[in-house]
Structure 1
Amino acid sequence: MALLRPLVDHQANTLTLTSHDDDQAPLALPLFPDTSVLQQKTVTVWKDSLEAFDMGDAAAEWVTTFIRNHASHDAVNTTEDEADLQVPLLRLVTLEDPDLGRYSRQAHPKLPGIHASFADKTPVTIGCYASLDTLNDELVSKDISKGATIPLNRFRNNLDIQGTLSYEEDQWLVVKIGEVTFYITEPVSRCPMPGIDQDTGVKDTWGGPTPHLLKTRHFAERTDRGYFCIHALPLNKGTIHVGDSVQVLERIPEDQQRFALSK
């Protein structure tokens, strides 16, 4: 999926699906489709059942063809592209605007009105370059990555921040970026996905950063998870531009702060 490159054009109201190698013709879809003319489908995200809307046969065929054409980029990169990978017909679905009042997947039990859509937990995750520098230093100095460093896009955040102290985001509670104020809920537990090069779709031969994070960035409540970056809930609508300042409005009280542990 890292090799599927969506292009968003707000002025044209289009979402264009493109392939990383331009081997598949792009497909332009409406960015905000009229859901009244789309077929409704029930989909499952973790334990939640949601009413979604099918984007049509052309979108389904494009996504299915893309996955079938990239058979080598499976979990362990052992399958050749030309192999007969058995992929069923996939469907691309969307959700309607939650402001219409017919859709709800609360991102936090005490903050009604903030929805997680198809995300795991929160609609936004935030990463910090200073923390990445610390992680890369550890991966290289301990010869875990065989001299390689990883970019922040491995963690697929919505927002990336420069100019912080390393891991100070662990203690943030409320921050403002541009016009939007965010409530920080928790650090992000990491799956093996950060071990996949987002430009090539190839898995790191050295195992990726997640095993190291499990050893050096877990919490007392969950010693079976490694944490990096933070979950965030937008408390209002607004515009954020590249280069906007970040204001830390509130930090977790000292008597409630938790710090990452090492095994």
Structure 2
Amino acid sequence: MPTPALHSLYVRPVKSLGGSSPVEAAVEPWGLAGDRRWMLIDTTAKVVTQRQFPRLALAFAEQLPDGGARLSAPGMEPLSVAVPEPSATIAAEIFQSKVEAVPAGAAADAWFTAHLGHDVRLVHLDDPARRRPINPKYARPGETVNFADGYPLLVTTVSSLDALNSLIAEGDHPEEGPLPMDRFRPTVVVEGTAPWDEDRWTRIAIGEITFRVAKPCARCVVTTTDQTTSRRGKEPLRTLARHRLIGKKMIFGQNLIPEHTGTLRVGDPVEILG
């Protein structure tokens, strides 16, 4: 078995959009630097994701040096969005929790409304250090998260994806496989471990940074969305339901909380601490 190492990193400035795969990224207490500091909300201020609009998979956001984001999508003129000036916040709702967020402005709202054909607004997380606490069942006092579903980072492994794809090939919809890792939208991907080894992790080190493993990642309909076409299929949920049902949740990957800040680099050694 090769030595476990960091295979890849992913930063997605806008929740549910595509992003980039840098060779290194700074780790902040609430996630990778620049990751999911923006999200979309509907007219009732509830979060909008690929769950409702698979077409979001076709849009990309590139982080700008000043913290802004450059948006692109097929048939749309690119748009650069600056970090909004401090102003009155919106009480946005993200999965039954409220978070104060700053409106990005009319131009960004119009861009996304045109792309989706639905009235949406773009908002920015101005102060992740205090805006959104992590579920206290799994976190320590004062720990916060960006606009990710619930936790600062998500780790998946190359070997578990290979194992899952083998199961898909033997299942009811082999034509849908093999699936790429982008279906699972991780922030960090590890190679050199045994399939499903991450199920037993409680604490790991990647390079200079240690992480607590908070809880397994339950998967949703977004994983069935082809991130290059926005079309939906049956997999991987059909296969996960048969082979990766833990409790009543379909599991792939583990949610992480950083114990301190630092920088991750592709190729960093990974050590299982518990």
Query: Normalised by the shorter chain, which TM-score bucket?
Result: 0.7 to 0.9
8 Å CA contact retained: 1:107, 1:116: no
8 Å CA contact retained: 2:84, 2:104: no
Alpha-carbon displacement from aligned partner over 1:147-201 (angstroms, at most 9, x marks no partner): 6310111001111111111000001111111332111011111112111111111
Aligned length: 218
Separation in 1, partners of 2:176, 2:147: 36
Where do residues 211-222 of structure 1 align in structure 2 (5 Å cutoff)? 211-219=238-246, 222=247
1:196 aligned residue:
225
Where do residues 175-194 of structure 1 align in structure 2 (5 Å cutoff)? 175-194=204-223
Aligned letter for 1:2? A
Where do residues 50-199 of structure 1 align in structure 2 (5 Å cutoff)? 50-68=99-117, 87-88=118-119, 90-99=120-129, 101=130, 103-109=131-137, 110-146=139-175, 148-199=177-228
Separation in 1, partners of 2:214, 2:147: 18
Show structure 2 runs of 5+ residues with no match: 1-55
Q: TM-score, normalised by structure 1?
A: 0.77
Alpha-carbon displacement from aligned partner over 1:20-77 (angstroms, at most 9, x marks no partner): x3x21111123xx3542x3311111122111111011111111111112xxxxxxxxx
> Offset of 1:97 from its aligned partner?
2.2
Percent identity over paired residues: 28
Separation in 1, partners of 2:182, 2:103: 29
Separation in 2, partners of 1:138, 1:226: 14
Where do residues 30-49 of structure 1 align in structure 2 (5 Å cutoff)? 30=82, 33=83, 35-36=85-86, 38-49=87-98
8 Å CA contact retained: 1:43, 1:50: yes
Q: TM-score, normalised by structure 2?
A: 0.74
Residue 15 (structure 1) aligned with residue 39 (structure 2)? no
Alpha-carbon displacement from aligned partner over 1:237-261 (angstroms, at most 9, x marks no partner): 11112222212122xxxxxxxxxxx
8 Å CA contact retained: 1:35, 1:96: no
Q: Which has the higher contact order (CA 8 A, sep 6+)?
A: 2
Residue 236 (structure 1) aligned with residue 260 (structure 2)? yes
Alpha carbons of structure 1 residues 211 and 147: separation in structure 2 relative to 1, 3 Å = closer
Q: Which runs of 4+ in 1 moved over 4 A?
A: none
More strand by share: 2
Separation in 1, partners of 2:67, 2:100: 23
8 Å CA contact retained: 1:114, 1:234: no
8 Å CA contact retained: 2:206, 2:264: yes
Separation in 1, partners of 2:176, 2:97: 42
Aligned partner of 1:25 among 50, 71, 77:
77
Separation in 2, partners of 1:17, 1:59: 9
Separation in 1, partners of 2:140, 2:201: 18
Separation in 1, partners of 2:84, 2:210: 30
> Offset of 1:143 from its aligned partner?
4.6
